[in-house]
C-alpha cells in the first residue's frame, strides 16, 4: 500500500472510530452519573 | 394516549444507527469514494457530515423529541401550516420502502442461492435470468417472478413481526441487526485483507487524489452521500426520537449515530476493495475494470469475486452466505424504520392503535410492492429509486430546513437542545440550518439539469413520467391532502399542546 493511502486509512480510523469511542464513552459516563445520583 | 418509549437510550441509538446504516453503506459509499478522489474524498465527506449531516440529524431528533410526535404532527405542533412538510418525508419513505422491499427480496434469494453457490460463473445472468426472469422493458410486466415473490413475502413478514410490538420488539431486534452486520463485515474485511492483491485494491480505494477537491462534482457527491446515508428527509429520525423522553440527550446521540454509520461505510469499503483487488489480480485485469457499486456490485461483481476465493465451493458458499447475510441485516432495519415513519405519521394524526396501523400500512405496502416482483421489477426499482432519492429526499430536506430555519425561531430549538445534551451546540448550528437549503438546492439543480438533458437510464420518456416526475407530483399532492384531512384526535392534541 502506498504511503498516502496508509495516511488516509489512519486519518479515517482516527476520526471515525476515535470519534465513536469518545462519544460512546461520554454517553456511558453520563448514564453512570445519572444512576449514581 | 400514553406514548410508547424505548427500553433505554441504547435501544434508541441502535435503532437510529440501524436505520442509517443500510445497503447504501456497503454498496454505495465505497464506489462513490473511489470514483471521487479515493482517500481525498474523505475530506469533503467529513466537511459535509459536519455542515449538513450532523446539523440536520440534530434538527430531526430535536423536533421529534420536543414535540413527542412523528414528522407530520411534530411539524404541525410547530406551525399548523408546516404539516405538509412533515408528510412529504413520510410519503417519500413510504415510496422508498415499497421498492426497498423488492431489493430485500433479491437478497433473500441470493442468501438461499449462496448455500450451493447457485449463481455459478455467470452471476449477472443468474440474477436477471433465474431470479428476476427479466422482461424486455418497464412496460412489459410479464407476470410475477416466483423467487422474488417469495423473497418479498419473507421481507414483509419479517418487518411485520419486528414492528408488531413497537419500540418493545424493535429495541430487542436492533441489538442483533446492528451488531451482526458489523461482526460479519469484520469477518469479510479480515478475509479480504489477507488475500493476495488486496493491498492493491485498498490502494485504489484510499490513495488520495487531492486535485479532485477542486472539482465541484466531488463536493456535490459528498453532500449527496451524507444526505442519503443518514436516513434524513424520510421522517424516520423524528419518529424514533419521539419515543424518547423529552429531556433526553440529543447532540451526543446524533454524533454516535453519525460516527457509527460512517464507520460501517468505511469498513465496508475495506472489505469490498480488498476483495476486488484480489479478483482483479486473479483475472489479470485492472481494478478499475472490476470496480462497481450498487446492484452491479451486490449481484454480479461480488458473487463473481466470491467464486474465486481460495478453498473452492465450500468457502465460496460460506463467504457468499456471510456477504448476503450482511446485506440482509444491514437492509432490514433500514426497511422497518421506513415503515415506522409512516406508522407514526398515521397513528399520531388519527390516534389509531399502533399495532393495527402497522398491520394495515404493511398490507398496503406489500400490495404496492408486488410491482417489484414482476418481471419488469428491476426497471421500476431503478427508475423510482433515482427520482425519489434525488428529488423526494432532497426536497424533503429543503422543506424542513426552510420551514425551521427561515420561518421559525431556530434559536428556540437550540435553547431546548443545549440544557439536555451532553455536548452543547453553538450558534453555528442555527446558521447551518439556515444555509442548508442553499446547499440542497445546488444538489437538486445538479440532478435536475442532468435529468432534463439526458433520459435517466435510457428509459422511454413515458416511464420517466410514470415512475419519476408523475410519482413526485403524486408525493406533493398527497402531502397536502394528508395534511388537509380532518382528524378530531389531531385537533384535540394540538389544542392540548397549544395550552401547554
Over residues B380-393, the pLDDT tens digits come to: 999 999 999 889 98
In angstroms, how far is CA B301 from the centroid of its own chain?
22
- ipTM given for this complex: 0.96
Kindly list the residues from chain B whose CB atom is less than 8 angstroms away from the CB atom of residue A34.
none
Q: Do A17 and B263 touch (CB under 8 A)?
A: yes
Instruction: State how far the Cα of B26 lies from the Cα of B324, in Å rounded to an integer.
Output: 11
Instruction: Give the pLDDT confidence of B379-435 residue by residue, as tens digits.
Output: 999 999 999 988 998 999 999 999 999 999 999 999 999 999 999 999 999 999 999
The pLDDT value recorded for residue B500 is: 59
Task: Output A22-29 pairs: Cβ under 8 A, ≥24 positions apart.
Answer: A23/B252, A23/B255, A23/B256, A23/B259, A24/B256, A26/B252, A26/B422, A26/B423, A27/B9, A27/B13, A27/B249, A27/B252, A27/B253, A27/B256, A27/B422
Nearest to B137 by CA among B461, B495, B474: B461
Give the SS3 label for residue B380: helix
| CA nearest to A22 within chain B | B256
Q: Determine the distance in angstroms separating the CA of B165 from the nearest CA of chain A, rounded to an integer.
A: 26
Residue B499 pLDDT grade (very low, low, confident, very high; cuts 50, 70, 90): low
Residue in chain B closest to A19 (alpha carbons) equals B259
Percent of chain B with pLDDT over 70: 99
Is residue B238 within 8 A of residue B71, CB to CB? The reply is yes
pLDDT of residue B131: 92
Contact B259 A30 (CB under 8 A): no
Compute CA distances B90 → B65, B170, B223, whole Å.
17, 19, 21
Out of A2, A13, A19, the one facing B203 most closely (by C-beta) is A2
Distance from CA of B10 to the nearest CA of A (A): 10
Q: What would the pLDDT profile of B248-296 be if each residue is shown by its tens digit?
A: 999 999 999 999 999 999 999 999 889 889 888 988 888 888 777 777 7
Size of interface A-B (CB pairs under 8 A): 70
**DSSP secondary structure letter of residue B370:** G
Do B206 and A27 make contact, defined as CB atoms within 8 angstroms?
no
CB contact under 8 A, B259 and A17: yes
Instruction: Please answer yes or no on whether B208 and A24 come within 8 Å at the CB atom.
Output: no
**Higher per-residue pLDDT: B234 or B289:** B234
Beta carbons of B206 and A8 less than 8 Å apart = yes
Contact B207 A20 (CB under 8 A): no
What pLDDT, on the 0 to 100 scale, is given for residue A26? 96
CA B108 to chain centre: 18
Q: Which residues contact B349 (CB under 8 A, 6 or more apart)?
A: B72, B73, B482, B485, B487, B489, B490
Interface of A with B (CB under 8 A): 1-2, 4-9, 11-13, 15-17, 19-20, 23-24, 26-27, 30-31
CA B177/CA B408 separation, integer angstroms:
37
Which residues on chain A are in Cβ contact (under 8 Å) with B249? 27, 30
Higher per-residue pLDDT: B487 or B163 = B163
The chain B residue lying nearest A5, using CA atoms, is B207
pLDDT of B248 reads: 95
Q: Tell me the shortest Cα–Cα distance from B203 to chain A, in angstroms.
A: 5
Distance from the B211 Cα atom to the nearest Cα atom in chain A, whole angstroms: 14
Q: Using the structure block, give the residue that is written with the C-alpha cell 444555509.
A: B435
DSSP assignment letter at B373 = G
Quick one: CA dihedral B352, B358, B363, B368, positive or negative? Answer: positive
Q: Which residues of A touch B255 (CB under 8 A)?
A: 19, 23
**Calpha distance B399→B444 (Å, rounded):** 13
d(CA B126, CA B113): 10
* pTM of the full structure: 0.93
- For the residues B363-372, what does the mean pLDDT come to? 97
In the prediction, which pLDDT does A28 show? 94
Mutate to test the interface with B, among A16, A17, A28, A30 (most CBs of B within 10 A): A16
Contact B266 A4 (CB under 8 A): no
Residue in A4, A12, A30 closest to B42 by CB: A12
- End-to-end Cα separation, chain B, in angstroms: 16
Do A8 and B46 count as a contact with CB atoms less than 8 A apart? no
Best residue of A7, A10, A20 to probe chain B, by most B CBs closer than 10 Å: A20
Mean pLDDT across chain B: 91
Q: Would you state the pLDDT for residue B210?
A: 87
Amino acid at each position: 500500500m502506498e504511503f498516502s493511502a496508509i495516511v488516509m486509512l489512519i486519518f479515517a480510523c482516527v476520526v471515525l472510530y476515535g470519534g465513536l469511542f469518545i462519544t460512546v464513552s461520554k454517553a456511558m459516563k453520563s448514564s453512570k452519573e445519572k444512576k449514581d445520583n | 394516549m400514553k406514548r410508547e418509549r424505548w427500553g433505554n437510550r441504547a435501544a434508541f441509538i441502535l435503532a437510529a444507527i440501524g436505520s442509517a446504516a443500510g445497503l447504501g453503506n456497503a454498496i454505495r459509499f465505497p464506489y462513490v469514494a473511489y470514483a471521487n478522489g479515493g482517500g481525498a474524498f474523505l475530506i469533503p465527506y467529513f466537511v459535509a457530515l459536519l455542515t449538513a449531516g450532523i446539523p440536520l440529524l440534530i434538527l430531526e431528533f430535536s423536533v421529534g423529541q420536543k414535540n413527542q410526535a412523528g414528522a407530520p404532527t411534530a411539524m404541525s405542533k410547530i406551525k399548523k401550516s408546516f404539516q405538509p412538510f412533515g408528510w412529504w418525508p413520510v410519503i417519500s419513505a413510504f415510496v422508498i420502502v415499497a421498492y426497498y422491499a423488492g431489493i430485500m427480496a433479491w437478497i433473500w434469494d441470493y442468501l438461499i442461492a449462496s448455500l450451493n453457490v447457485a449463481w455459478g460463473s455467470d452471476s449477472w445472468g443468474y440474477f436477471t435470468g433465474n431470479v428476476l426472469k427479466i422482461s424486455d422493458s418497464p412496460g412489459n410486466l410479464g407476470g410475477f417472478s416466483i423467487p422474488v415473490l417469495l423473497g418479498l413475502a419473507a421481507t414483509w413478514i419479517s418487518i411485520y413481526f419486528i414492528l408488531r410490538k413497537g419500540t418493545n420488539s424493535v429495541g430487542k431486534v436492533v441489538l442483533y441487526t446492528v451488531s451482526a452486520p458489523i461482526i460479519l463485515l469484520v469477518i469479510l474485511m479480515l478475509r479480504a485483507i489477507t488475500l493476495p492483491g488486496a493491498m492493491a485494491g485498498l490502494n485504489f480505494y484510499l490513495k488520495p487524489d487531492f486535485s479532485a477537491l477542486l472539482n465541484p462534482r466531488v463536493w456535490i457527491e459528498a453532500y449527496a452521500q451524507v444526505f442519503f446515508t443518514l436516513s434524513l428527509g424520510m421522517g424516520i429520525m423524528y419518529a424514533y426520537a419521539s419515543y424518547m423522553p423529552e429531556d433526553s440527550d440529543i447532540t451526543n446521540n446524533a454524533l454516535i449515530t453519525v460516527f457509527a454509520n460512517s464507520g460501517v461505510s468505511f469498513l465496508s469499503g475495506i472489505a469490498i476493495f480488498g476483495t476486488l483487488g484480489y479478483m482483479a489480480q486473479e483475472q489479470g485485469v485492472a481494478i478499475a475494470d472490476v470496480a462497481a457499486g450498487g446492484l452491479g456490485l451486490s449481484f454480479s461483481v461480488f458473487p463473481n469475486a466470491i467464486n474465486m476465493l481460495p478453498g473452492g465451493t465450500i468457502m465460496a458458499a460460506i463467504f457468499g452466505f456471510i456477504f448476503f447475510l450482511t446485506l440482509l441485516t444491514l437492509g432490514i432495519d433500514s426497511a422497518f424504520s421506513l415503515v415506522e415513519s409512516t406508522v407514526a405519521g398515521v397513528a399520531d394524526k388519527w390516534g389509531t392503535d399502533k399495532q393495527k396501523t402497522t398491520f394495515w400500512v404493511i398490507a398496503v405496502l406489500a400490495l404496492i410492492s408486488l410491482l417489484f416482483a414482476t418481471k419488469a421489477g428491476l426497471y421500476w426499482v431503478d427508475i423510482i429509486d433515482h427520482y425519489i432519492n434525488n428529488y423526494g429526499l432532497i426536497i424533503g430536506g429543503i422543506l424542513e430546513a426552510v420551514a425551521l430555519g427561515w420561518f421559525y425561531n431556530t434559536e428556540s430549538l437550540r435553547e431546548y437542545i443545549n440544557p439536555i445534551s451532553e455536548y452543547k451546540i453553538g450558534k453555528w448550528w442555527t446558521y447551518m440550518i439556515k444555509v442548508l437549503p442553499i446547499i440542497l438546492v445546488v444538489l437538486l439543480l445538479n440532478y435536475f439539469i442532468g435529468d432534463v438533458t439526458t433520459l435517466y437510464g435510457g428509459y422511454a420518456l413515458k416511464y420517466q413520467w410514470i415512475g419519476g416526475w408523475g410519482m413526485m407530483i403524486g408525493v406533493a399532492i398527497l402531502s397536502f391532502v394528508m395534511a388537509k384531512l380532518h382528524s378530531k384526535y389531531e385537533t384535540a392534541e394540538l389544542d392540548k399542546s397549544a395550552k401547554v
